[in-house]
Amino acid sequence: MTRSTWLPKRVLVTRSAAELPHGRQIVDRCAAAGVEDVQLLRTDRLPSLGGDDPRSAYALAKSTLAVVVAPPSKRKLQPIPPSADWRVDLAEGCPAHCQYCYLAGSLGGPPITRAYANLDEILDAVPQHVGGGAVTSGTEERGHEGTTFEASCYTDPLGIEHLTGSLSAAITRFGTQDLGGPVQLRFTTKFDGVDPLLALPHNGRTRVRFSVNAASVERFEGGTARSQDRLSALGRLASAGYPVGLTIAPIMPVEGWREEYAALLDAVSAAVAGVPQLDLTAELITHRFTPKSKEVLLGWYPRTKLEMDEDLRRQKRGKFGAVKHVYPAPVMNELRSWFDEALATRLPEARFLYWT
Ligand code: SF4
């Protein structure tokens, strides 16, 4: 247990989930962790949690863990550039309270964290996708990592690992089984409860990236581990032979950003100093929002100080025409060239993967 360890107020378990061994294991873990309100439902429908306004509905949902069976549509692996070849979801939702949460607007309904009980079925889909990825296969920087599978697109899997054990099962499966070719499991986290992972037979096939940021941006990250605790966890995993990484996101040009990001890179350098055969990557993602995510976030955090001003942004259209508000080109260029230089000088051991 660490300071940021999450304990839900209630756990709802659907009937089908309770019939599966992994679902029952999650129930046992929740009880052992001290959750008193564990409800075994008679059907597979989650009840409405209530809440009179977005803020109270949010609070009820964020204190609830649901144990459910992922339907076939959620089990279908999807390409997820530029992070990885494929997305594999062990859960959906996250117990933390980041005021810029990248899940806002992409999940339907109240933000209940859902852990999937049919983990074996989900992981059984992996071998059919090995060798078929478009992002890393064949690229010079990442081709040697094999086909990559991203487990943190819709959740922070480490934030609920003490209650699910799903991540340990996935890391062990990737590390010990022949999945039909070179593979890498990947996930990003803002939590630090890595001790159960240290002795797993990961075989270097899981890359754990820590989402880190400037001190002024960390203020927006409620319910997560503090930055120094994340970096300490990163150092421990690297010493245990895991490939590790930084997801510096969302990058924001806050006041004093150069000094704050420089301090961050220096702290990372100190955290990995002396790690033998360090394998460290860096993924850099600037802040963006969509009309939908802004609306959802303002419902959840009505008094947020997070800048989401369309007039200060440039519109970018996604593949299907969806609008994103990103920083204008001069700001992007300034940030990008600063990070290029700062990474090269302050953290030369990090392999840069992408900027977006
Ligand atoms: Fe959202 Fe990630 Fe923060 Fe969880 S840790 S609230 S998924 S941004």
319: which strand partners?
none
- Closest ligand 1 atom to Cα of 94: 4
Confidence of residue 221 (pLDDT cuts 50, 70, 90): very high
Confidence tier at 140 by pLDDT (50, 70, 90): low
Higher pLDDT, 212 or 110: 212
The ligand 1 atom nearest the CA atom of 191: 5
CATH architecture classification, 10-355: Alpha-Beta Horseshoe (3.80)
| Confidence band of 9 (pLDDT split at 50, 70, 90) | very high
Cα 163 to ligand 1 centroid, rounded to whole Å: 17
The per-residue pLDDT for range 20-67, each reduced to its tens digit, is 999 999 999 999 999 999 999 999 999 999 888 878 899 999 999 999
Q: Which helix (H) or strand (E) holds 54?
A: helix 54-62
Does residue 128 register a pLDDT over 60? yes
Q: Determine what percent of the chain is predicted with pLDDT higher than 90.
A: 87
Average pLDDT along the chain? 94
Coil vs helix vs strand at 351: strand
CB-based pocket (< 6 A), ligand 1? 94, 96, 98, 101-103, 156, 190, 224
* Domain boundaries of the chain, sorted by first residue: 10-355
Q: In the chain, pLDDT over 70 holds for what percent of residues?
A: 97
Query: With bands split at pLDDT 50, 70 and 90, how would you rate the model's confidence at 1?
Result: confident
Cα of 248 vs centre of ligand 1, distance in Å, is: 13
- The minimum-distance atom of ligand 1 relative to the CA of 190 is 5
What's the predicted TM-score (pTM) here?
Answer: 0.95
Nearest CA to ligand 1 atom 3: 98
Q: So what's the ipTM on this one?
A: 0.99
Nearest atom (ligand 1) to Cα of 188: 2
Strand extents, DSSP E, the chain: 10-13, 37-40, 64-68, 78-80, 84-87, 91-92, 97-98, 113-116, 147-150, 183-189, 206-212, 221-222, 244-251, 280-286, 314-317, 323-326, 350-355
Residue from 101, 296, 301 to probe ligand 1 pocket by mutation (most atoms less than 8 Å from CB): 101
pLDDT in tens, 272-293: 999 999 999 999 999 999 999 9
Residue 131: what pLDDT?
85
How far is the centre of ligand 1, averaged over its atoms, from the C-alpha of 180 (Å)?
32
Residue 343's pLDDT band (cuts 50, 70, 90): very high
Q: Is the per-residue pLDDT at 307 higher than 60?
A: yes
Instruction: With both helix axes pointing from N to C terminus, report the angle between 257-272 and 329-346 in degrees, rounded to the nearest 10.
Output: 30
* Residue 122 clears pLDDT 80, i.e. is over it: yes
